[in-house]
Structure formats: structure tokens, C-alpha cells
Amino acid sequence: MSAAPDWHGPLGMGGAPLGNLFAPVAEADAAASLDAAWDAGIRHYDTAPHYGAGLSELRMGAALRQRPRDSFTLSTKVGRLLRAARDLPEEVEGFVHALPFQRRFDYSAAGAARSIEDSLARTGLSRIDLVYIHDVSADWHGPAWTYRMREALEGAAVYLTELRRQGVIGGWGLGVNGVEPCLEALEHARPDVLLVAGRYTLLDHTALAQLFPACAARGVRCVLGGPYNSGLLAGGTTFNYETAPAEMVARAQTIAAVCARHQVDVKAAALQFCAAHPVVAAVIPGARNAAEVRQNAAMLAAPIPGALWRDLRATGLVPDGAPTP
């Protein structure tokens, strides 16, 4: 039986890279990154069937089965079912050399039930703590996302609410890249947590005005994915998993310049900014190897002078209403 969520924050580990997002991750590197996460005190882990068509769940399960089950929080997602397939392309939806399964969207109650059973089998664990309904949003479904949301609220959400009532899971919510689906779920259901990727970062403050106050009013927590906006805040060139637009590149460079003046790594500012909001239960950057895991842990603990936040606020790079450490 699962109790109410123990968030094990503020730093967690996102599992998309372990599904070979954009590039392969060797088995040894995947295992080493998960060992490094444990050694760094990370106890909040997020994965999904979508990540490498089950590969991320397999890898996380192999590592976490060695740990006391009550000592960590594991979340996965429903909304896609996997079916064995042949002759798949090398890259599917950003994942390279994934497992040989085809993904199919299914937001029904029956689909959620099967998805959880499949996830338990892949991880080899006795329970999942948090379950997110995955990608029920416009970036995946276009204008049909509202239909998909109705399907999810009448199907998967009802089923997950019953599992929560029975104590089988600790809580449920949405796992999306946008704010609008989260507001819809808050209006029509009773989620415990919302996993929002990329919508509350040093570059993008979309969640601040409406979503966070709505969560606070309802006692709902947020887990933040994509704290580096898929790379742009970590020295990369992508924003929201695509080539970053010029205005975002310029904004990121300005933030980096302010950080440099205060001798602060921009990644430290990015992680600590995300974690500072009181509705945020955990921040879950991904990592491809042990070095990246250790770096994330160091960045969250790095000292940052208050003058940095004052300068970012004075130049309009951090909104007045955004809490800072």
C-alpha cells in the first residue's frame, strides 16, 4: 500500500535521457548515473513508458530494486501503451535506439490500468508512488487536445483517483509541457501534483501568474521538469527541444552575463530559482552520465549571493512576484 506522497525533494532525477533522448546512453553510463544520484542523496525519480519505449523504466527499475522501497519516490506516466513492433526507424519521437515497441495514445481507464501493470513489470517494483497522465496537451495533439483531455478526465483520472482512495498510489496528476491543461485539470478534477516541464524557469515564467496561485489555493504541489529549458540554460542551443529562437538565445546570454559578474554558474541559478517557489515539491533535471548528476547536485547546493537575484530582478529577467532563495 502507498501512503500520501513523500516528495523527497527538492532535487530529483528526470528519466528521459535514460531512454536515449536524442542520443544513445550506454548501459554502463545509465547505471552509473543512477548510482551517482543515490550517492548524491537524490530520492525522487521520474520516468515514463514513452522514454525509449520502456527503456528508461527498465534502467531505473534495475537500479532502484537494489534500494529499500520506502526510501525513495518513483513516478511514471500513463497515456501511452506499448505494442511490440518490427522494422522501426532508428529514431522515434526524439528517442534513438529505443526498445522495439510502438507507442499508442490511450487515456482511458482501461488503458491506464494496463499501463501501470506494464510499468510495474518493466521496473520490477511493487508499486508506483505518483502517476502522471502524460502529454494530454496541444503540443502533442494540436486542437484535439481538449477532446483528449475529456477522455483523460473521464477515464484515466477517474481510475487513478480510485487507486489513490485505495492507497495503491500516493497521488496522481498531469505530466505536460503546458500550463493550460493543468488549469483544466484543476478545474475539473482533484490532482495531487502537476509535473510541468519548461514553464517555470529563468527563461520562461508562464506558470507564475495563474498556475502556481491555483495550485496553492487547492493544496496541489508542482514538480518541475526541464529546468534548463532542454539545454539553453545549460550552455546548449535548444529551447523546448527545438533550435532556440534568437530572442531566447539573447535572453539566456544576458542571464549568463549577470551570473558571470557574480561568479555564479548559470545552472546553479536556474535550479535554485525553480526550487524557491513554495508550490514546487521537486525539480527533476535529466542526466546522461554520473558527472552530470553530480553537477546537478552541486549546482543546487552552490552558494549564490543575494545581489545576483537583485540584479536579475532589477533588469526584468526575474519577475517581481517570483520568489528567490
Q: Which residues are catalytic?
A: 46, 51, 77
Cα separation, 240 vs 226, whole angstroms: 8
Cα separation, 311 vs 92, whole angstroms: 42
- Looking up cell 507564475 gives 208
CA atoms 222, 36, 62, 227: torsion sign: positive
- Looking up cell 526584468 gives 316
Cβ contacts of 80 within 8 Å, gap of 6 or more: 48, 49, 50, 103, 104, 105, 106, 115, 134, 135
Cβ neighbours, 10 Å, residue 313:
14
